[in-house]
Amino acid sequence: MDKVAYLQTWGCQMNVHDTEKIAGVLRGEGYAFTNKPEDAALIILNTCSIREKAEHKFLSRLGYFRRLKKKRPAMQIVVSGCIAQQEGEKFLIDNQYVDFTFGPQNIAKLPELILRDKRKAAVEENPYLAETELPSIRNDGTRAWVNIMYGCNNFCSYCVVPHTRGRERSRPMDSIVNEIRTLSDEGYKEITLLGQNVNSYNDPNNGTCASFAELLTAVNAVKGIERVRFVTSHPKDLSPELIAAIGDLDKVCEHIHLPLQSGSTKILSSMNRKYSYAQYLDKITALRDSVPGITITSDIITGFPGETSEDHKETLSALREIEFDGIFAFKYSKRRYTRAADMEGQLDEEIKSERLKTILELQDVITDKINRKLKGQTVEILVEGESSSDPAHWTGRTRTNKIVNFIPVESVKKGMFITVNITNSFRHSLEGQPDR
């Protein structure tokens, strides 16, 4: 069979960027890529185990590939990512038609795994992960994600990430800045620095232990890069130095995604988040004082074990008090290997769903109120190209991470910075008119 690969990804930006690296490694081995799995010699499914729903979606898709392999037995089926890491050899035992698996720390082993006769689960710890340079295939041309660290040390009681991605390791600052200089030379304009907890970045090679604020300063100085973003931030590590850097550095965008998770300090403690609601609120105040116009988005988990209706009300009251620009809200999902899975007070799905509905309805009203205020304003957007949901529109993003859709005009091209007049607002996007 020809060297043709089909890649599919579930989950977060870390996973999406891991797939870009998997593609980069495969290209080095002479592989081309297809959108049709039926034409592929190699199928790689890069999985997510953060929530039960993502796992179910992957398993149902895997069933399709099992049937496909019956018709084309030479085809290799490979499972990577967090489910592969979490399940190890057991996944291969339970799924005999899967050729091999590898975890997020073992992407570099892909060429040797493809050629192996024996099935293997490559899930071992990689002590050199932070120093491993892998090629990536990035298709955007304008916006790029760059890993600055791997793993997490926080062990939030609901989260499987420290078990699947291992302990926290920061990439050397020089290596990160060099990658960004190369991206700038290739025409990239916007960089998003990626890590599970970017605020705790700590350059291992720098004698003075460069912090995330220092890294931001170095990235800000790269010529040709116009916007710098970062995800994800942990509130406990959001230092005054970092808040000042976000305010001072001209390319660092006025947006932060700062997961709150719950408005109840009791629940935050049982989540092992290491901050109280009052402490979180202080950080929000400091951000809004130091970074004028900053937009703040967040994550909320509803129905965590032991969450009472009073705790739920505290989350609703936090949403009203803070007025996030937007949130991602999820029902608590029991994950193997996590402490919360064994906690008492697990709630019924019905209660979780009802609380989620209330949270989303409230946030919709808040987001709508905030976005309405933008009508009539002129803002700068970076043009991303055709809207994925409506081919009649093009889309771009403000520095504050608001999506603006507009009717394309001849002079506007992907990758341009243009100004638009906001003519309409919706809950998840804005509509604008290019000012040219």
209 is in an annotated binding site: no
Q: How far is the CB of 164 from ligand SF4 (least distance, A)?
A: 10
Nearest to 264 by CA among 327, 305, 309, 314: 314
Calculate ∠ Cα 419-421-426, nearest 5°: 120
Cβ 149 vs Cβ 170: under 8 Å: yes
Residue at token pair 């990160």: 176
234 binds ligand SF4 (CB under 6 A): yes
Which distant-in-sequence residues (6+ apart) come within 8 Å of 98 by Cβ? 62, 77, 78, 79, 91, 92, 119
- Minimum CB–partner distance for residue 153 and ligand SF4 (Å): 7
Please report how close the Cβ of residue 273 comes to ligand SF4 at its closest, in angstroms: 7
Q: Does residue 121 interact with ligand SF4 by CB under 6 A? A: no
Q: Which neighbouring-strand residues pair with 33?
A: 5
**Which positions ≥6 away from 412 have C-beta within 8 Å?**
383, 394, 418, 434, 436
Our finding on whether 154 is near ligand SF4 (CB under 6 A) is: yes
Closer CB to ligand SF4, residue 338 or residue 367? Answer: 338
Select the span of 1-9, 12-20, 153-161, 362-370 touching ligand SF4 (CB under 6 A). 153-161
Q: Of 198, 260, 203, 255, which is closest to residue 232 (Cα–Cα)? A: 198
Binds ligand SF4 (CB under 6 A): choice among 156, 216, 243, 404:
156
Q: Of 87-95, 121-129, 150-158, 404-412, which segment contacts ligand SF4 by CB under 6 A?
A: 150-158
H or E element, residue 328: strand 326-331
Contact 43, 37 (CB under 8 A): yes
Complex with ligand SF4: residue 264 or 398, whichever CB lies closer: 264
Q: Which stretch binds ligand SF4 (CB under 6 A): 156-164, 239-247, 340-348, 373-381?
A: 156-164
| Count, residues near ligand SF4 per rule CB under 6 A | 10
Please count the other Cβ atoms lying within 10 Å of the Cβ belonging to residue 202: 16
298 binds ligand SF4 per the rule CB under 6 A: no
379: left (phi over 0), alpha (psi -120 to 50) or beta: beta
Task: Find the part of the chain contacting ligand SF4 (CB under 6 A) among 87-95, 149-157, 327-335, 337-345.
Answer: 149-157
Q: Give the full edge-to-edge strand order of the sheet including 227-231.
A: 143-147, 190-194, 227-231
**Piece in contact with ligand SF4 (CB under 6 A), picked from 155-163, 175-183, 356-364, 417-425:** 155-163
- The reply on whether position 246 binds ligand SF4 by CB under 6 A is no
Q: How far is the CB of 373 from ligand SF4 (least distance, A)?
A: 31
- Residue placing its CB nearer to ligand SF4 in the complex, 176 or 340: 340
- Asked if 344 contacts 308 with a C-beta cutoff of 8 angstroms, the reply is no
Least Å distance, CB 275 to ligand SF4, is 11
**Helices 349-372/309-322 angle, 10° precision:** 10
Which of 64, 155, 328, 337 is the binder for ligand SF4 (CB under 6 A)?
Answer: 155
State the DSSP string of 310-321. Answer: HHHHHHHHHHHH
Looking at the Cβ atoms of 14 and 110, the one nearer to ligand SF4 is: 14
Give the sheet arrangement for strand 255-257, strand by strand: 255-257, 295-302, 326-331
Q: For ligand SF4, which is the closer residue by CB, 149 or 383? A: 149
Closer to ligand SF4 at the Cβ: 113 or 161? 161
Smallest distance from ligand SF4 to CB 278, Å? 20
Q: Tell me: does residue 196 bind ligand SF4 (CB under 6 A).
A: yes
End-to-end CA distance of the chain: give it in Å, rounded: 51
Binding range to ligand SF4, per CB under 6 A, among 36-44, 154-162, 347-355, 386-394: 154-162
Does residue 49 touch ligand SF4 according to CB under 6 A?
no
Instruction: Please state, in angstroms and rounded to a whole number, the distance separating the CA atoms of residues 246 and 214.
Output: 11
**Do the annotations mark residue 253 as ligand-binding?**
no
The Cα–Cα gap between 61 and 37 comes to: 11
Distance CA 349, CA 88 (A): 29
Residue in 197, 211, 315, 398 binding ligand SF4, rule: CB under 6 A: 197
152: contact with ligand SF4 by CB under 6 A: yes
Q: Which segments are annotated as binding site?
A: 12, 48, 82, 152, 156, 159
- The annotated binding site for [4Fe-4S] cluster is made up of 12, 48, 82, 152, 156, 159
Binding residues for ligand SF4, rule: CB under 6 A, are: 152, 154-156, 159, 161-162, 196-197, 234
